[in-house]
Structure 1
Amino acid sequence: MKTSYRRRRFFFPLVMVLALLVVSFAVFWLWNNVLVAVIAVRSVTYWQAMGLLILARILLGGFRFNPSAARPPYGGGAPAWREKFRQMNDEDRQKFRSEWKKRCSDKP
């Protein structure tokens, strides 16, 4: 167990650097092969593409490395009222529905 943690701890930075290099190459290639042909922009070097990638990540996404960053905002999942409605008994549900209809009706 301890050796796998050490192995992951060693390889994680290497994988992150490798991913940065690969994604930077993708940005470099796409910029020079697509944007130069479509709109009037200059081609960029590999290091400029990496800088653009890092700048876009800072401005648009930030650097969040925790798994909670992938969750939808406000906790995700079903709204709180849905769980409350599920836990009501039949009498409370009927009372809730009639009150809701009374509030939402067009009659004054």
Structure 2
Amino acid sequence: MGRKREVVFDEEAPDFDPAKPYKEPVAMMEMREHIVREKWIDIETSKIIRDKLRWCYRIEGVNHLQKCRHLVQQYMDSTRGIGWGKDGRHPAQHGPKDSLTG
């Protein structure tokens, strides 16, 4: 027996309406759990890339700027948007955009 290629989760709770989140409490909780699960997956993925980057820096020595550049780019891309602040929330929960912030 081999490992599964990928795990597939449901994208959203079927009855969740972002405009009225408290209408279906069960769907709201499922959506919240989904968002938290996706955040933890992103965080753990960035930790794995960070460990690979540390190992690359250690192995390559003075050549790390050239040899580890792809890992630096992956790590920077994986850490964007991760967090528990406003930018880490579901887009439907951000509220109206300010004209000053873009």
Tell me the TM-score normalized by structure 2.
Answer: 0.36
Structure with bigger gyration radius: 1
Tell me the TM-score normalized by structure 1.
Answer: 0.35
